[in-house]
Amino acid sequence: MTPDEASAETEITLADEPEVREALATSDRSAVQAVVAEHPSSPLAWAELADLADSEGRAIEAYAFAAASVEFARAQLAAAGWTEGDPVRWAEEPNRAYLRALDAQRRAALSLGLGDRAEALAAQLEAADSEAPARIASEFTPTQLITVIPATPPAGED
Q: How many CB atoms lie within 10 A of CB 103?
A: 25
Query: For the segment 16-38, what is each residue's pLDDT rounded down to a tens digit?
Result: 999 999 999 998 899 999 999 99
- The model carries a pTM of 0.82
84 phi, psi to nearest 5 deg: -55, 135
Q: What is the pLDDT of residues 131-143, one digit of tens each?
A: 999 999 988 655 4
The region that residue 156 occupies, defined by phi over 0 for left and psi between -120 and 50 for alpha, beta otherwise, is: left
- Please state, in angstroms and rounded to a whole number, the distance separating the CA atoms of residues 66 and 72: 10
Q: Any residues with CB less than 8 A from the CB of 149 and at least 6 apart, and which? A: none
User: Rounded CA gap, 74 and 43, in Å?
Assistant: 9
pLDDT per residue over 66-121, tens digit each? Answer: 999 999 999 999 999 999 889 999 999 999 999 999 999 999 999 999 999 999 99
Q: How far apart are CA 30 and CA 24, in angstroms?
A: 11
Please, is 50 exposed, middle or buried when counting C-beta atoms within 10 Å of its C-beta (0-12, 13-18, 19+)? buried
* Domains of the chain, first to last: 12-139 (1.25.40.10)
pLDDT of residue 139: 83
> Distances from the Cα of 155 to the Cαs of 38, 122, 148, 151, in angstroms?
44, 52, 17, 12
